[in-house]
Amino acid sequence: MISSKRAQIEVTFNWVYVLIAGAVILLFFAGIVVKQKAASEDNLSRMAMNIMDKIFAGARAAEKTKDFVDISGLADYTFYFDCDNEVSTYGLKGYSNPKEDEVHALFAPLELQGTRMILWSLPYKLPYKAMDFLFITTDRTKYFFVGQDEFVEEFLNATQDNTDKRKSISAEAVISLEDITPGKTFQIRIVDVEGSIQNKAQLPSSFLEKLKGYGDNKVTAVSFTGTNQANFFQKEGDHWKQLNSNPIQIVSLGGERDAAKYAAVFAGNDKVYECNMKKAFKRLALVNEVYGGGNLANDISKPGGKLGEIIAHYVEYYQAHPELQVTSSCQSYLDEVAKSMQTHQQKTLACTSLPEKCFEVMDSADKLKKANINLTEGGDCIPLY
Amino acid sequence: MVLTSKKAQMHMTETIGVLFIFFILVAFGLIFYYKYTGQAIKEEHRQMVADRAVKTALEVFTLPELACTRGDAELEDYCVDMIKVRHLNETFNIHLKDYYFKLFGYAKIKVAELYPNTGNEYTLYDKKRPTNETFEYEASYFVIALKDEITDMERTPYSFGYIEVGVYATSLED
């Protein structure tokens, strides 16, 4: 009888023991699964961003070419891009390990989703190349151009491949907002080349009807005015909301493939645009130093860098061949270049600290460009660039 | 009584034996895992260094501070402007901390002429890792054209050389 009772206790104890041990083992494995899931997601985000970083570097190097990167494996993920205090940040939304870039200019919508990422690099010249701008978009972001001018034609020619639609940026020219059909896109960007979009302007009802299902932040616009300025807008309910308080100057020398203007088309908003442009101006000041020396902005009497060496070369050359000095005008052309270079560096430095001064860089860059043309065409001298 | 004790002793020895083999297997597993992880980390590190070397090289080839220009036309590919090269070191040094270190990190960029003159070398950028760290150096060499419009106006301004782009990486070797 005693033995049976003892056996009963032992059996119960064994079951309790087995249950506790089983629960502990189960919890242990559940913990491993949870930790592993978090670690693999973290790893995915880190790996994806490292690969993106490499792809961006390659795309920047392949100037003026468009790269189409298959991201169908990440089609359900949202990429985000931001720029603050001259630091670009990009990553996968909801995941850690974003990448930061303090040097390169990346112009992209604030969020991106799609199966193909499109990367396009254009050199930003003022008047010589300061850096490469990288434009980032996807196949599910559509650009609608409202109005007609040379820029629209140029953009569409540059981005449409009639032989292979997969190698095109999704873009279309329309007459008005009513003609827009978004299709199966993640977001739309309206590029108004006539400056017709105004702050708080009501959106046409037929257009609003087609935008059902799009969040306000998925419908954005950039509007170019006649004075080469840009305003950024976002849909807010049934009207446009202007994002920038003052018009943003497009600082460029114009012409084909105007990188600063293209950048405005691809930039998510005014903040991203200005933040990346600041990086470009900072780099321009450094490139100016290579051309004109570190002290050029303060002292024109002793240009350094490439210009200083060219001037020194001609001084030496004319000392050895004084008879040529009468017929050649290289020195006077070089003086003109030195003056333009000094003004250009002063304006660039002013622009890096006071963005409202940046429009002055266009004038100084134009003068430097003309002075450089005079060097080669007028004087048959060694050009600055 | 003696029989029971002997049986218990045998049981005990058997249990100890099983436990011993179990712990030996666990130890083997741990050693294998440790070695595998170490190898994987080294492999990943090697990959990272190689990636950084490629990225730095790409960066160097698109440097407006270095490239040969043709007015408003596109830059000349794989060409280095020697007049700029002679002054670039100064700009890189002045703005090392505030700019160029963010671009190149711990790296070295050197331009050397091979033909017609040999021996002309310019180290444009050389930022080693802190001295208390052991590091390795992985360099890549690229053949380039060197354009110098000043040295000899009678001859072509182009000569032939190479650019060395290397990265300093923390060493994981013992």
Over the stretch B13-62, which tens digit does the pLDDT of each residue have? 988 999 999 999 999 999 999 999 999 999 989 999 999 999 999 999 99
Residues A253 and A318 in one domain: no
Tell me the pLDDT of chain A averaged across its residues.
92
The kind and range of the H/E element at B83 are helix B82-94
Contact between A305 and B84 using a beta-carbon 8 Å cutoff = yes
The pLDDT value recorded for residue B4 is: 66
Interface of A with B (CB under 8 A): 50, 53-54, 57-58, 60-61, 63-64, 102-103, 123, 125, 127-132, 282-283, 286-287, 289-291, 293-294, 304-306, 308-310, 313, 369, 372-373, 376, 382-383, 385
Residues of A in contact with B103 (CB under 8 A): 103
Contact between B87 and A306 using a beta-carbon 8 Å cutoff = yes
Q: Both tokens of residue B89?
A: 């070191």
Residue tagged 């003068």 (tokens)? A367
**Mean of the pLDDT values across residues A273-298?**
95
Domain boundaries, chain B: 50-170
Residues A301 and A159 in one domain: no
Asked whether A121 and A132 are in contact (CB, 8 A), the reply is yes
Asked whether A199 and A119 are in contact (CB, 8 A), the reply is no
Residues of B in contact with A128 (CB under 8 A): 64, 69
Contact between B87 and A63 using a beta-carbon 8 Å cutoff = no
**Mean of the pLDDT values across residues A315-340?**
85
Is B2 a residue whose pLDDT tops 70?
Answer: no
Q: Name the residue type at position B135.
A: F
Residues A209 and A105 in one domain: yes
Range of the domain at A366: 293-378
Last residue of a domain, one of A247, A280, A313: A280
The pLDDT value recorded for residue B134 is: 85
Residues A263 and A310 in one domain: no
Contact between A293 and B75 using a beta-carbon 8 Å cutoff = no
Interface mutation vs chain B, best among A88, A126, A290, most B CBs within 10 Å: A290
Last residue of a domain, one of A230, A259, A280: A280
Residue of B55, B88, B150 lying closest to A57 (CB–CB): B55
Is A300 a residue whose pLDDT tops 90?
Answer: no
Phi, psi of A87 (to 5 degrees): -125, 115
Q: Provide the H-helix boundaries in A234-354.
A: 259-266, 270-292, 305-320, 322-327, 330-353
The pLDDT value recorded for residue B131 is: 82
Cβ-based neighbour number of residue A183 at 10 Å: 11
Residues A209 and A103 in one domain: yes
pTM: 0.89
B104 touches chain A (CB under 8 A): no
Q: pLDDT of A301-327, one tens digit each?
A: 889 999 999 999 988 888 888 877 766
Q: Name the residue type at position A50.
A: N
Last residue of a domain, one of A234, A253, A280: A280
The pLDDT value recorded for residue B157 is: 87
Say which residue, A378 or A224, is predicted with more confidence.
A224
CA distance A366 to A372: 10
Interface mutation vs chain A, best among B65, B78, B89, B100, most A CBs within 10 Å: B65
The pLDDT value recorded for residue A4 is: 65
Contact between A129 and B84 using a beta-carbon 8 Å cutoff = no
Contact between B64 and A372 using a beta-carbon 8 Å cutoff = no
| Lowest mean per-residue pLDDT among A116-125, A233-242, B133-142 | B133-142
Quick one: CA torsion of A291, A295, A300, A302, rounded to 10 degrees?
Answer: -80
Q: How many angstroms away from the CA of B62 is the closest CA of chain A?
A: 6
Q: Both tokens of residue A1?
A: 């009888």
**A2 found inside a domain:** no
Is B152 a residue whose pLDDT tops 70?
Answer: no
Contact between A103 and B83 using a beta-carbon 8 Å cutoff = no
Q: Name the residue type at position A236.
A: E
The pLDDT value recorded for residue B172 is: 77
The pLDDT value recorded for residue B1 is: 53
Residues A268 and A315 in one domain: no
Its ipTM equals 0.86
Phi, psi of B141 (to 5 degrees): -120, 135
Contacts of A62 (CB under 8 A, 6+ apart): A121
Q: pLDDT of B67-122, one tens digit each?
A: 999 888 888 989 999 999 999 999 999 999 999 999 999 999 999 999 888 788 99
Asked whether A352 and A285 are in contact (CB, 8 A), the reply is yes
The kind and range of the H/E element at A106 are strand A105-107
Q: Name the residue type at position A5.
A: K
**A256 found inside a domain:** yes
The radius of gyration computed from the CA coordinates of chain B, to the nearest angstrom, equals: 30
Q: Is the dihedral of CA A269, A275, A279, A281 positive or negative?
A: positive
CA distance B36 to B40: 6
Contact between A294 and B90 using a beta-carbon 8 Å cutoff = yes
Residue of B59, B84, B99 lying closest to A306 (CB–CB): B84
**A363 found inside a domain:** yes
CA distance A136 to A142: 13
Q: 46-75 in B: which are within 8 Å (CB) of A?
A: 51, 54-55, 58-59, 61-62, 64-65, 67, 69, 71-72, 74-75
Residue of A nearest to B62 (CA): A61
Phi, psi of A165 (to 5 degrees): -60, -25
Q: pLDDT of A64-90, one tens digit each?
A: 789 999 999 999 999 999 999 999 999
**A33 found inside a domain:** no
Order of strands across the sheet that contains A116-125: A66-70, A116-125, A129-138, A105-107
> How far is the first Cα of chain B from the last one, in angstroms, to the nearest whole number?
60
Q: Is the dihedral of CA A366, A368, A371, A376 positive or negative?
A: negative
What residues does A131 pair with on adjacent strands? Answer: A124
The pLDDT value recorded for residue A158 is: 94
Total domains in chain A come to 2
**A169 found inside a domain:** yes
Contact between B59 and A57 using a beta-carbon 8 Å cutoff = yes
CA distance A8 to B72: 96
